[in-house]
Amino acid sequence: MKIKTFLLLILVVVSGITLSICSVINLSTKYQEYTTSVAQEPVMVPLLKAAADGVYPWSEYVAPEETKAESSDDVADEQSVSENADETPAVKAKTFTHVEDDYFDDAVFIGDSRVLGLSMYCSALDSRSTFFAKKSLSIYDIRDKEWVETEDGREITVFDALQEVTFSKVYMMVGINELGRGTNESYAEAYKTVIDRILEINPNTIIYINSIMHVTKEKSDNDPIFNNGAINVRNAAILKYVDYQHVFFLNVNDILDDEEGNLKAELSGDGVHLKGSCYEPWHQYLLYNAIVD
C-alpha cells in the first residue's frame, strides 16, 4: 500500500490542523474582529476571513488605539454644525429649479453600483457627465482609497481625479454597502470629510447628496441589514450637512417609492437595484431638482 493512495487525506488533515492552530493562537489579537463564535464555525475560519482582508498569520499585529480623542472631536464637530445651523437663516437658501440635460455637462457622479447602473442605462447622463462609480463602493472607500482608474491603468483617489476634470456639480449616492458596517456617526463623519475635501478642491461646486435608495418591501422585510428602516436612519444622519448653499439633499425615494415607503417592486429585479429600463424617473428627478445660480 503506497502513501500515494491517501496523500490527499494526509495533506488535508495536516493543513487543516496547522491552520486551526495558527488561528487559535491569534484569536484574541489580530483575528478578534473576524471571529463570530467558535460554536458557529470551524476555528480556522477567522484566519481565512482575515487573509481575505490581507491580514496573514505572519502580519504584524497593531492593537486598536483608544478612541477617546476621537469622541471629543465628535463633540466639537457637532458644535460647529449647530453653529452653522444658527447662521443659516442669514443667507438665503437656494431653491430647486428645472434644467435641461446640458446642465450635466460639467457634472460628476460618484457612487456605488446604483450610480454605475445610472451610467450604464441612462445615456442622457452617461454621454454628458463624468462617472466615478464602482460596485460595492462605500463612503469610507471614497475617503480613504485609491479606486478611480485612470486611462493609463493607475488607481488614484477620487480627490486626485477631481483635480483633473472640470466640474461644478457633484452628485453622490453611496450608503447601501455601509449598512451593517460602522456606526451612523462614523458614516456621517466620513461623509463630512468627503464633502469638505470636494469643496476644498472647488469651493464653488454644488454637491448633491442623493439619498440612499430604498429597497423593495420584500427585500426590506426579509433582510436584517439591508432594510428601509436602516436606510432611513443613515439618510437622516447626513441631513445636518445640508446648507442650501453648497450642499443639497435629493430624496430620490420620493419618486421611486410606493405608498408604504418602499422601492416600487416593479422597478427592481433583485429588490435592490433599478432595472435597466427604470432609471428614467431618477434622471427626470435630477432635471427637476437642480440649482441654478
DSSP code at position 40? T
Nearer to other proteins, 205 or 268 (CB): 268
Min dist. Cβ of residue 291 to other proteins (A): 27
Q: Report strand pairing: 247-250 vs 155-156.
A: unpaired
Lay out the site mask for other proteins across 240-279 (x = CB under 8 A, - = otherwise).
----------------------------xxx-xx-xxxxx
Min dist. Cβ of residue 39 to other proteins (A): 10
151 grid coordinates:
486611462
149 near other proteins (CB under 8 A): no
> What is the edge-to-edge ordering of all strands in the sheet holding 247-250?
130-133, 107-111, 169-173, 206-210, 247-250
Lay out the site mask for other proteins across 34-73 (x = CB under 8 A, - = otherwise).
------xxx-xx--xx-xx---------------------
121 near other proteins (CB under 8 A): yes
CB 255 within 8 A of CB 216: no
CB 253 within 8 A of CB 281: no
Nearer to other proteins, 4 or 92 (CB): 4
Count the residues of the shown chain that bind other proteins, applying the rule CB under 8 A. 41
Which residues, other chains included, contact 148 with Cβ-Cβ below 8 Å and sequence gap of 6+? Answer: 132, 155, 156, 157, 158, 160, 161
3-state SS of the chain: helix, strand, coil percent to 5?
50, 10, 40
DSSP code at position 285? H
225 near other proteins (CB under 8 A): no
16 near other proteins (CB under 8 A): yes
Q: 165 to 224, contacts with other proteins by CB under 8 A?
A: 176-177
Phi, psi (degrees; rounded to nearest 5) at 110: -125, 130
11 near other proteins (CB under 8 A): yes
Question: Binding residues for other proteins, per CB under 8 A?
Answer: 1, 4-9, 11-12, 15-16, 40-42, 44-45, 48-49, 51-52, 112-114, 120-122, 135-136, 176-177, 268-270, 272-273, 275-280
